[in-house]
């Protein structure tokens, strides 16, 4: 198979060489914020997660693409990430579920990437210097350098507005449960919807939906989804959440957790290189139980900025806040991904906690 040379240039001028994969890029250049993810499987779910909008995903696992892709594993109908970087892209898939390979999948979604990269070196650089913007592609190095010099990260960008639904969709309960849940779509994943419909009927609504329109649906609970970008730049959603507090039980995941914290008066800050992977240890403070969790976020909530809350979960790697509940309203948030798409399933009990909160409010 013939290959085309490609390169990566980060904003600080660091370069990496490789070969082009995925879609042909306009002008041979694409830009985004470079991050790394440590999952060994679940690459399709990662690539299709709307939370990666504007980011170039570097997979630390050496071999990517070996079991192909299938529509059943998509987390969203559209891929929003800016690009993909791998060490070794499998040239032949081997799995009975596969309907295509990763390279063709990237092409079909207009996403480019670079393979053959020293991803260990790139990951070390991002770990030491932080996630940073950059450029990649087949263009001349000077063009890539010029693009990298002006590339933006996720700071200050409301990327939720880019990925949220335009219209409301209704998903019937798969278990016959008669609860009604309104899910505010900040970049919601399909796996989350599959978990919620076990609890009741789910109305997935755009992020711009007003308090009045949410309450007009007479929900038993409101779910705040994951999503991309800087939580401090998301317009309108914190005010909506603030208006819903005390009116209906609320459960937030990832960006939803951050929106709930912001509505309660809290602040967020950016982590050096974020948490992206499927093996982060988190302690449930109430039980002392340690969960291995799936994570994908660049920002976290400052617990010292919050009043009237109880910290429920903490990250054992760096001590950052992973979960809290409000002491003033029936609401709680989790920074990691209990739906686990991909990742371990041991945190899915949190959806049962949401069901209990809804039932208590009836």
Domains and CATH numbers, the chain: 5-150 (3.50.30.20), 160-360 (3.40.50.880)
2 band by pLDDT with thresholds 50, 70 and 90: low
Residues 6+ positions from 146 with CB-CB distance below 8 Å: none
What local confidence, expressed as pLDDT, does residue 361 receive? 84
324-335 tens-digit pLDDT? 999 999 999 999
Summary mean pLDDT of the chain: 97
pLDDT band at 11 (very low <50, low <70, confident <90, very high): very high
Say what the pTM is: 0.96
Q: Is the pLDDT of residue 1 over 60?
A: no
Q: What tens digit of pLDDT does each residue of 299-325 get?
A: 999 999 999 999 999 999 999 999 999
277-295 residue pLDDT tens:
999 999 999 999 999 999 9
Q: What is the pLDDT of residue 362?
A: 84
- Catalytic residue IDs: 254, 337, 339
């Amino acid at each position: 198979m013939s290959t085309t040379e490609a390169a990566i240039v980060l904003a600080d001028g660091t370069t990496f060489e490789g070969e082009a994969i995925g879609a042909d890029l306009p002008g041979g250049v694409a830009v985004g914020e470079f991050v790394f993810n440590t999952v060994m499987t679940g690459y399709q779910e990662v690539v299709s997660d709307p939370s990666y909008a504007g980011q170039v995903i570097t997979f630390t696992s050496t071999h990517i693409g070996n079991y192909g892709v299938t529509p059943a594993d998509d987390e969203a109908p559209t891929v929003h990430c800016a690009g993909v970087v791998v060490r070794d892209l499998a040239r032949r898939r081997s799995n009975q579920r596969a309907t295509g390979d990763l390279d063709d999948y990237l092409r079909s979604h207009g996403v480019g990437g670079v393979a053959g990269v020293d991803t260990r070196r790139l990951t070390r650089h991002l770990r030491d210097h932080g996630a940073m913007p950059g450029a990649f592609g087949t263009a001349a190095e000077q063009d890539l350098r010029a693009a990298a010099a002006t590339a933006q990260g996720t700071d200050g960008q409301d990327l939720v507005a880019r990925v949220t639904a335009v219209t409301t969709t209704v998903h019937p309960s798969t278990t016959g449960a008669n609860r009604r849940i309104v899910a505010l779509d900040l970049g919601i994943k399909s796996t989350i919807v599959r978990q919620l419909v076990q609890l009741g009927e789910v109305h997935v609504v755009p992020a711009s939906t007003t308090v009045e329109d949410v309450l007009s649906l007479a929900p038993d609970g409101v779910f705040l989804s994951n999503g991309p970008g800087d939580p401090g730049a998301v317009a309108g959603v914190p005010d909506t959440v603030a208006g819903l507090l005390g009116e209906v039980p609320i459960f937030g995941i990832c960006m939803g957790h951050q929106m709930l914290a912001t509505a309660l008066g809290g602040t967020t800050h950016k982590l050096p290189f974020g948490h992206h992977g499927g093996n982060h240890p988190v302690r449930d403070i109430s039980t002392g139980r340690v969960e291995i969790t799936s994570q994908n976020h660049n920002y976290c909530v400052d617990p010292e900025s919050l009043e009237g809350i109880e910290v429920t979960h903490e990250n054992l790697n760096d001590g950052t806040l992973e979960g809290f509940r409000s002491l003033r309203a029936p609401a709680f948030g989790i920074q990691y991904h209990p739906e686990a798409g991909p990742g371990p399933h041991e945190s899915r009990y949190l959806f049962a906690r949401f069901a209990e909160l809804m039932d208590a409010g009836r």
